[in-house]
Structure 1
Amino acid sequence: MARHIYRCPLRWSDMDAFGHVNNVVFLRYLEEARIDFMFRLAPGNGSTSFQGGSVVARHEIDYKRPLVHRHEPVVIESWVTKIGAASLTIAYEVKDAEGPGTVYVRASTVVVPFDLETQRPRRITEEERSFLQEYVDDSADAGTTGPARAA
């Protein structure tokens, strides 16, 4: 199982009044990683997979530690935990780039492919499913959100 790695820079404007990255900004970080994963890594030469549109149906975020502004980027690891007929679930960890990495956020997003022309959800294509399958990890301890698990 592969994980998509996205290096996300922190911006001065990301901070809140307490000097931490604001909770809402993490949604922007997840969006950047998701777009990099789904659009830049779309399968096949010249493929339009995922570029026809998608919508977010659900976000779930567990804030683990405060993240203060710094010049080094954070790493966002993304992987797929579920592929349905017309939706997929992406899990994330936002963490330090170096060493074992402090985890700041664990999150998941349900994404629905969307036909912009008809303004309706659509099914996941076989090409998309094949691409996503390379990133599937649906194991209970895959790092997704939820209560901590005993070692």
Structure 2
Amino acid sequence: MTERFIHDVSVRWSDMDAYGHVNNARFLTLYEEARVAMFFVGARKHGLGSFEEGIVIARHEIDYLRPVNYGEPVRVEMWVSQLRAASFTVSYELFDDDVLASRAKSVCVPYNLVKAHPRRLTDAEREFLNPYVGSY
């Protein structure tokens, strides 16, 4: 079975909309915080720092399943649903009080910030991503 990277993300007062729910655009911020934890903190624990040198997002897709209220942190579970030579898709599920509240996907592209162009994944990056590759 595919591993999931799991990260708890705090919901801030500033994430709320006029109805007292997390604003739809703020879901991207919650997903971003979890993704940064995976590719900066998680990868660094495996001795990999190259993702910190540049990843850009080519596409986001979000399904909102239920409102999320201010309160406890939400749990974001992530895996890699597609792995290509020069991009990969991170799939997410966001849980509020252990109830699935949202699903999302982000197409990530390794990027050389100095030369300003996309690059291929390295063998070390693939090795880090492989345990998370799968579908649910």
Partner of 1:91: 91
Whole-Å separation in 1 of the counterparts to 2:74 and 2:52: 26
Structure 1: distance between partners of 2:94 and 2:76: 5
In 2: Cα distance, 1:48 partner to 1:40 partner: 9
Over aligned residues, Cα RMSD in angstroms?
1.1
Q: Distance in 2 between matches of 1:10 and 1:116?
A: 30
Structure-2 residue corresponding to 1:75: 75
Q: Deviations over 1:26-57 (max 9, x none)?
A: 00001000010011111643x32211101000
Which 4+ stretches in 1 moved above 3 angstroms?
none
In the other structure, the counterpart of 2:123 is 126
Equivalent residue letter for 1:67: V
Cα deviation 1:91-138 (Å, max 9, x = unaligned): 0011035xxx21111000000000011000000000000110010113
Letter in 1 for 2:77: E
Measured in 2, the distance between the counterparts of 1:83 and 1:137 equals 9
Counterpart of 2:43 in 1: which secondary structure?
coil
Q: Which aligned pairs between 1:11-90 and structure 2 lie closer than 5 A?
A: 11-42=12-43, 44-45=46-47, 47-70=48-71, 72-90=72-90
**Secondary structure at the counterpart of residue 51 of structure 1:** helix
Task: Give the residue type in structure 1 aligned to 2:14.
Answer: S
Whole-angstrom distance in 2 between the partners of 1:125 and 1:53: 13
What are structure 2's unaligned runs of at least 5 residues? none
Normalized against structure 2, the TM-score is what?
A: 0.94
Higher radius of gyration, 1 or 2: 1
Structure (1/2) with the larger helix percentage: 2
Q: Percent identity?
A: 48
Correspondence 1:8 to 2:9: yes
3-state SS of 1:33 partner: helix
- Amino acid across the alignment from 2:123: E
Q: Which structure carries more strand by proportion?
A: 2
Q: Which amino acid aligns with 1:7?
A: D
Structure 1: gaps spanning 5 or more residues: 143-151
Give 1:17 shift: 0.5
